[in-house]
Amino acid sequence: MKVFWFFAALSLLFFKTCSEDQEVQDPLRQALQLEDPYIRQVMDKVEEHELQIIYTRIERHGDSLVLQDYKFQVDVDNYFYPASTVKFPMAVAALEKLNELDSLNRNVRYYVEGDTVENSFAEDIIKIFTVSDNHANNRLLEFLGQDDLNYRLRRRGVEPVRISHRLGVHSDEVTTRPLVIYLNDSTTAVSRPIENTPPEPLLLKGIKKGRGFYKADSLYAEPFDFKLKNYYPLEAQHSVLKRIIFPTYFPEHKRFGISEEQRKFLLNAMQMLPREAGYDEEEYYDSYCKFFMYGDSQEQIPEHIQIFNKVGFAYGTLTDCAYIRDNLNGAEFMVSATILVNQDRLFNDDAYEYDEVGIPFLATIGRALYDYESTGK
């Protein structure tokens, strides 16, 4: 009996030691434990900030690829508002649909019936990533429809997900508006409106947030209800990113149906800086839509650093989903994170701590992970 208890105690000690070693070797945990004031002000109130993070280490061995995920508080049932991050799958799905239509390509020009703004699909996708243009996103939604967009994601294994509404104008209309599409310089065709399924209320943790909200300049002293809003959890976001950056990592039926040429166009749009797309550099600085590593600075991002990403910010929630690559030093990694910064717990009051808390935290975590990838410690 004494022998049994000896080995039981030894096994317990071995298990505890292995668990402690694993925790020590978790670079994400190491970054979150840093004594940096921007990290500490979040981690000391981590539940209040509803923080979720996924960090992926990338190991290459010849032609083989190993992706090692590290997660912090990731929970698909714990709701956060995804804001503009839904524009990433919108762009992917639009390219996939264009790939299925012989008469159209991304350079075809079009406009929404009744509107005066004319763009190509390619221009709208570039606007989505460089300056997070809401109107560009909504035009692509009119092209796809909510049901088709959600179906395209789910059939590739990206779930749970539910994208139900337009952005900026916050229209809940489930029927799309017709598009006037140029088949050539002088001939146009008008698409038919697409009927979509009305969204079902979401049954998730944290679907009601805060202690009040403003609507039409009136304060309502009750939690803000997100039950009919878009739902795009962090794991789904990270999954889309992996499929675009490393499509061959997935079986063919789980990859998006876009050509390699389309994928290269998409990647170029994802890493493009506003000034490279012709936007005023003072208003749309390099990190305008890139929170990790550089979000707390308006200086130019070094040429050897590429960030392929999509951010979102609304209702006090900041989210970024990124693949970061250092072409000079060979470092590369993926990181997705979401954080709520709403100290007064009121929604629609435009009093959110984006610049004081959220963006500095994401920038600092991005730099900490980059340092680990660059130095190994």
pLDDT in tens, 240-289: 999 999 999 999 999 999 999 999 999 999 999 999 999 999 999 999 99
From the list 254, 258, 233, 81, the residue with the least C-alpha distance to 154 is 254
Secondary structure string (H, E, C) spanning 267-284: HHHHHCCHHHHCCCCCCC
Q: Count the neighbouring beta carbons within 10 Å of the beta carbon of residue 105.
A: 14
pLDDT tens column, 257-271: 999 999 999 999 999
| 347 DSSP assignment | E
**Element at 368 (helix H, strand E):** helix 359-375
Residue in 353, 335, 336 with CA at minimum distance from that of residue 344: 353
What pLDDT, on the 0 to 100 scale, is given for residue 15?
A: 39
Strand partners, 68: 57
| pLDDT tens, residue by residue, 187-239 | 899 999 999 999 999 999 999 999 999 999 999 999 999 999 999 999 999 99
Model confidence at 377, pLDDT cuts 50, 70, 90, reads low
Integer Cα distance of 328 and 3 in angstroms: 57
Classify strands 212-215 and 346-347 as parallel, antiparallel or unpaired: parallel
Q: What is the predicted pLDDT for the residue at 171?
A: 74
Give the Å distances, CA to CA, from 305 to 132, 323, 325, 327, 346. Answer: 20, 11, 6, 6, 37
> Would the pLDDT of 2 be above 90?
no
H or E, element range at 37: helix 37-43
* Residue 195: strand, helix, or coil: strand
Q: How far apart are CA 365 and CA 55, in angstroms?
A: 10
* pLDDT tens figures, 130-146: 999 999 999 999 999 99
* Dihedral, 338, 340, 341, 345 alpha carbons, nearest 10: 170
Which residues face 179 on adjacent strands? 112
CATH of segment(s) 27-375: 3.40.710.10
Q: What is the pLDDT of residues 74-116, one digit of tens each?
A: 999 999 999 999 999 999 999 999 999 999 999 999 999 999 8
Rounded to whole angstroms, the Cα distance separating 106 from 124 reads 9
Q: Are 311 and 290 in contact (CB under 8 A)?
A: yes
* Rounded distance between C-alpha atoms, residue 103 and residue 232, angstroms: 31
Determine the Cα angle at 197 with ends 183 and 149, to 5°: 50
Mean pLDDT of the chain, nearest integer: 93
Cβ(232)–Cβ(82) below 8 Å: yes
Closest CA to 91 of 267, 210, 326, 300: 267
User: In the chain, what percentage of residues exceed pLDDT 90?
Assistant: 88
Structure tokens at 324: 């970061």
User: Domain-by-domain residue ranges, the chain?
Assistant: 27-375
